[in-house]
């Protein structure tokens, strides 16, 4: 992610690691501890189920986002354009990966452009909090948004990954610049969301982010792609690889992360990512308190296979989501909330 993206080749190594390496957590999201409560008399037809929601001022056809991954190289652009086209076809939200390289070298901005294939999509720009600690502020945030005609900005919080990747990490001054960015971009009508990348969030972090003025959060938890394992895969020294592997299972599982953030911020727009792997996972994330679920690595794998594979996968996810809604008597996405029972501690 952020610091790595100083060099486009590092970004490509991340892509390759996520396509080929053993980078998934052994630990689970915690969704298996919850079952939906079947409704035998839903008074609904499958075709009447309404999966639409609103995010960052745009209407989505389904509560699903293609999580931020890449951009800034010709190969990344090809993947992003495939993903963004699918987002347009199915009414999903879409995020580009960290734009730091293109902030520092504007010639690379061309490798982030997706708006022409995704004119109606809720598109999120992306910068890292590590850059905020090093002096990025509202100017850079605006440039990232304008660069791709985004509707919103993600600021990713990844201290664990930064430290594993670089052997150093300065997150000593993030809240103040984040507050300034939230404030200034709000005046432009651009919501700023903070996001983890897979290590999860506590309720107190969520409260501090609300204090900073964020318009939403992605609580990205553990149970899917482990960024410690990605860094282990990409490490250039044995010492770094071994350290990253020791932290391979670090993180708050996604189900717990959702509950933490929702408990602390009942009305905050909440995206949930990290190990969402099926339409049932999407539905469970929402039933536990998220507004929208987001998926990264599986979409990358399908996009790499080709457009048809990607579209088939989205259709399957959305079909399963609709079925969960029907069989819980949920005519709308909001009605899914709470329709779970705990089956394990
Ligand atoms: C190849 C790849 C690159 C990523 N790069 C970024 C990034 O630049 N910025 C960011 O906020 N998250 C980034 N992520 C993190 C994802 O958005 C997501 O939070 C994480 O992978 C967990 O979701 P998953 O289990 O569905 O993969 C990246 C993920 C992947 C797979």
pLDDT in tens, 238-296: 999 999 999 999 999 999 999 999 999 999 999 999 999 999 999 999 999 999 999 99
For residue 248, the number of C-alpha atoms closer than 13 Å in the C-beta half-sphere is 16
Q: What's residue 318's pLDDT?
A: 98
Average pLDDT for the chain: 96
What is the tens place of the pLDDT at every residue in 286-329? 999 999 999 999 999 999 999 999 999 999 999 999 999 999 99
What is the tens place of the pLDDT at every residue in 26-65? 999 999 999 999 999 999 999 999 999 999 999 999 999 9
Q: Which helix or strand (DSSP H or E) is residue 148 part of? A: helix 138-148
Longest pairwise C-alpha distance within the chain: 60
Per-residue DSSP letter, 112: G
Direct distance between the N- and C-terminal alpha carbons of the chain, in angstroms, rounded to an integer? 34
The token duo for 43 is 């008074």
Q: What's residue 21's pLDDT?
A: 85
Confidence of residue 8 (pLDDT cuts 50, 70, 90): confident
Q: How far is CA 142 from the centre of its chain?
A: 20
Is the pLDDT at 147 greater than 70, yes or no? yes
Is 67 touching ligand 1 by the criterion CB < 6 Å?
A: yes
Confidence of residue 10 (pLDDT cuts 50, 70, 90): confident
The token duo for 1 is 């992610």
Closest among 77, 75, 5, 13 to 230, alpha carbons compared:
13
Q: What's residue 287's pLDDT?
A: 98
Is the pLDDT at 73 greater than 60, yes or no? yes
Is 103 touching ligand 1 by the criterion CB < 6 Å?
A: no
Is the pLDDT at 2 greater than 50, yes or no? no
CA distances 38 to 178, 282, 287, Å, are 43, 17, 13
The token duo for 104 is 């520092």
Strands 58-60 and 340-342: unpaired
Is 83 touching ligand 1 by the criterion CB < 6 Å?
A: no
Measured over the CA atoms of residue 220, residue 231, residue 19 and residue 147, the dihedral's sign is: positive
Q: How far is CA 257 from the centre of its chain?
A: 13
Q: What's residue 170's pLDDT?
A: 84
Residue from 22, 24, 68 to probe ligand 1 pocket by mutation (most atoms less than 8 Å from CB): 68
Ligand 1 atom with the smallest distance to the CA of 295 is: 26
CA 58 to CA 344: how far, in whole Å?
A: 37
């Amino acid at each position: 992610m952020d610091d790595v993206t100083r060099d486009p080749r590092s970004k490509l190594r991340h892509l390759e690691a996520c396509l080929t390496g053993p980078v998934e957590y052994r630990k689970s999201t915690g969704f298996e501890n919850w079952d939906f409560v079947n409704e035998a008399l839903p008074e609904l037809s499958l075709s009447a189920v309404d999966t639409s929601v609103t995010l960052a001022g745009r209407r989505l056809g389904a509560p699903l986002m293609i999580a931020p991954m890449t951009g800034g190289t010709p190969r990344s652009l090809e993947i992003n354009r495939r993903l963004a086209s699918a987002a347009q076809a199915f009414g999903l939200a879409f995020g580009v990966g960290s734009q730091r390289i293109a902030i520092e070298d504007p010639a690379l901005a061309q490798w982030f452009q997706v708006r022409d294939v995704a004119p109606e999509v809720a598109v999120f720009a992306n910068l890292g909090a590590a850059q905020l600690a090093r002096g990025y502020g509202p100017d850079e945030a605006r440039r990232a948004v304008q660069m791709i005609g985004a509707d919103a900005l993600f600021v990713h919080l990844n201290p664990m990954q930064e430290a594993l990747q670089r052997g150093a990490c300065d997150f000593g001054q993030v809240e103040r610049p984040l507050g300034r960015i939230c404030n200034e971009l709000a005046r432009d009508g651009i919501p700023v969301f903070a996001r983890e990348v897979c290590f999860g969030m506590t309720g107190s972090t969520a409260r501090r982010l609300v204090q900073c003025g964020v318009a939403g959060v992605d609580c990205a938890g553990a149970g899917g792609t482990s960024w410690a394992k990605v860094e282990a895969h990409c490490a250039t020294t044995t010492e770094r690889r071994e350290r990253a592997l020791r932290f391979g299972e670090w993180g708050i599982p996604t189900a717990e992360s959702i509950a933490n953030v929702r408990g602390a911020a009942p009305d905050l727009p909440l995206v949930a990512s990290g190990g969402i792997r099926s339409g049932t996972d999407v539905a469970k994330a929402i039933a536990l308190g998220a507004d929208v679920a987001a998926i990264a690595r599986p979409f990358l794998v399908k996009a790499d296979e080709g457009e048809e594979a990607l579209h088939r996968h989205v259709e399957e996810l959305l079909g399963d989501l609709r079925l969960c809604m029907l069989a819980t008597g949920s005519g709308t996405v909001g009605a899914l909330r709470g329709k779970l029972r705990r089956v394990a501690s």
